[in-house]
């Protein structure tokens, strides 16, 4: 059925509204079930990433050897200029841009604009894939050129490598999975599936996942690369 | 067909997008200028929280959702503050123990 959204909640949206939503004889959340479940999955994912970042805080605070300076480790020399952290900055801008194109895709989806939705999804996929590509380049540089391993590195505290590969690796996996997920959704959009079954909110659900990946990167960027 | 889902003017997304760009550039500037100490940490945290807030509120449409959903998703992560506090104490203890036994010769 196309109209599983007919449960959309109405009425005031304050503390009384909360009580009514939870106590009425109906679904609590006035959203398609897929969207509620995506939010709950993202909540669980929040805890996973938070555990990684908290573990990183713990090992960094308790390390007795000096922590390698991320600003220098991730520096690149471009066109004869030595630029600190430049690759990570570019990756950050690429991911934010992909979040922007994703938001546009969701918007066009609700306008029932099939071609523009697919086009924006395609941009998002390309940006996401290039993010993963840059991450592969970064890992290669760290492993091959700088000799950084999960169990140790020549620059200082061994925990640097362990947390780096764990956290960015897990985030990179999320981006890769997101690229595949978006490709599946884009194909369905192009094929007109959502025109037939009316489930254009599936684009919004995919968007939630994609924005979450960007959101996690905001925290990794701040705590791992800038701190 | 009844309009459902989140529909908002496209302009708001473009504005938030621009804001996120500016905030990212600002946090990168913190590193370029080599700011140190509390100034560095507070600026990093400020820009991080602003970016996270904008993404969740606008891109993920939280500001337009029912409070029943908003609270279900946004309140549980607050419990992480307890974990962070506990682990900070634990890390401090480990650090002092390591110094005591491995460096100062216990």
pLDDT digits (tens, 9 = 90+) for B12-36: 999 999 999 999 999 999 988 988 8
C-alpha A141/C-alpha A143 separation (Å) is 6
Count of domains for chain A: 2
Residue contact A17–B65, C-beta within 8 A: no
C-alpha B37/C-alpha A31 separation (Å) is 45
Structure tokens at A91: 């990756």
Radius of gyration of chain B (CA): 21
Residue A6: band (very low, low, confident or very high) from pLDDT cuts 50, 70, 90: very low
Q: Tell me: do A215 and A178 sit in the same domain.
A: yes
Q: Tell me: do A75 and A1 sit in the same domain.
A: no
Q: Tell me: do A83 and A8 sit in the same domain.
A: no
Give the residue-averaged pLDDT of A150-176. Answer: 95
DSSP H or E run through A82? strand A81-83
Query: Given phi > 0 = left and psi -120 to 50 = alpha, else beta, which region is A152?
Result: left
pLDDT digits (tens, 9 = 90+) for A206-222: 999 999 999 999 999 99
Q: Smallest Cα–Cα separation from A57: which of A218, A224, A217?
A: A224
Contact A161, A151 (CB under 8 A): yes
Q: Tell me: do A19 and A122 sit in the same domain.
A: no
Per-residue pLDDT, A76: 84
Asked if the C-beta of A110 comes within 8 angstroms of chain B's C-beta atoms, the answer is yes
Per-residue pLDDT, B30: 92
- The residue in chain A having the minimum alpha-carbon distance to the alpha carbon of residue B72 is A40
What CA–CA distances, in Å, run from B104 to A59, B58, B101? 20, 53, 6
Residues facing residue A152 across a β-bridge: A149
C-alpha A30/C-alpha A214 separation (Å) is 26
Q: Tell me: do A97 and A140 sit in the same domain.
A: yes
Asked if the C-beta of A206 comes within 8 angstroms of chain B's C-beta atoms, the answer is no
Q: Tell me: do A200 and A89 sit in the same domain.
A: yes
Residue B2: band (very low, low, confident or very high) from pLDDT cuts 50, 70, 90: very low
Nearest to A18 among B45, B67, B87 (CB): B67
Give the residue-averaged pLDDT of B44-69. Answer: 95
Residue contact A5–B44, C-beta within 8 A: no
Residues near A135 by Cβ (< 8 Å), separated by ≥ 6? A91, A168, A172, A175
Provide the greatest CA pair distance for chain A: 67
Q: Tell me: do A1 and A110 sit in the same domain.
A: no
Contact A199, A2 (CB under 8 A): yes
ipTM: 0.92
Average pLDDT of chain A, as a whole number? 91
Domain span at A37 = 33-226
Q: Tell me: do A57 and A84 sit in the same domain.
A: yes
- Residue scoring higher pLDDT (A124 or A227): A124
Q: Tell me: do A131 and A165 sit in the same domain.
A: yes
- The residue in chain B having the minimum alpha-carbon distance to the alpha carbon of residue A202 is B5
Q: Tell me: do A143 and A166 sit in the same domain.
A: yes
The domain ranges of chain B are 8-65, 75-106
Contact A148, A75 (CB under 8 A): no
pLDDT digits (tens, 9 = 90+) for A104-152: 999 999 999 999 999 999 999 999 999 999 999 999 999 999 999 999 8
C-alpha A74/C-alpha A142 separation (Å) is 8
Residue A3: band (very low, low, confident or very high) from pLDDT cuts 50, 70, 90: very low
Residue A59: band (very low, low, confident or very high) from pLDDT cuts 50, 70, 90: very high
Per-residue pLDDT, A159: 94
Give the residue-averaged pLDDT of A59-63. Answer: 95
Determine which of A20-29, A45-54, A163-172, A196-205 has the lowest per-residue pLDDT on average: A20-29
End-to-end Cα separation, chain A, in angstroms? 50
């Amino acid at each position: 059925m196309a109209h599983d959204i007919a449960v959309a909640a109405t009425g005031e949206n304050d503390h009384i509204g909360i009580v009514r939503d939870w106590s009425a004889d109906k679904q609590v959340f006035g959203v398609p079930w897929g969207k509620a479940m995506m939010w709950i999955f993202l909540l669980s994912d929040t805890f996973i990433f938070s555990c990684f970042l908290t573990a990183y805080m713990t090992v960094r605070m308790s390390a007795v050897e000096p922590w390698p300076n991320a600003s220098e480790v991730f520096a690149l020399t471009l066109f004869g200029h030595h630029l600190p952290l430049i690759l990570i900055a570019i990756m950050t801008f690429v991911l934010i841009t992909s979040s922007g194109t994703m938001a546009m895709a969701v918007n066009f989806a609700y306008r029932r604009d099939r071609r523009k939705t697919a086009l924006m999804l395609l941009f998002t996929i390309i940006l996401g894939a290039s993010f993963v590509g840059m991450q592969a380049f970064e890992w290669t540089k760290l492993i091959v050129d700088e000799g950084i391993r999960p169990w140790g590195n020549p620059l200082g505290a061994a925990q640097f490598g362990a947390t780096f590969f764990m956290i960015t690796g897990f985030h990179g996996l999320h981006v890769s999975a997101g690229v595949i997920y978006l490709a599946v959704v884009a194909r369905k959009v192009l094929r007109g599936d959502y025109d037939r079954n009316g489930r254009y909110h599936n684009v919004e659900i995919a968007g939630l996942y994609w924005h979450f990946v960007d959101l996690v990167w905001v925290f990794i960027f701040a705590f791992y690369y800038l701190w | 067909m009844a309009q459902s889902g989140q529909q908002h003017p496209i302009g708001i997304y473009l504005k938030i997008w621009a804001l996120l760009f500016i905030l990212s550039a600002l946090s990168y500037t913190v590193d370029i200028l080599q700011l140190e100490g509390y100034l560095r940490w507070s600026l990093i945290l400020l820009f991080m929280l602003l970016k996270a807030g904008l993404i969740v509120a606008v891109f993920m449409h939280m500001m337009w959702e029912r409070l029943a959903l908003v609270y279900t998703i946004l309140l549980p992560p607050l419990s992480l503050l307890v974990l962070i506090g506990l682990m900070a104490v634990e890390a401090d203890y480990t650090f002092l123990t390591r110094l005591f036994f491995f460096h100062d010769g216990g």
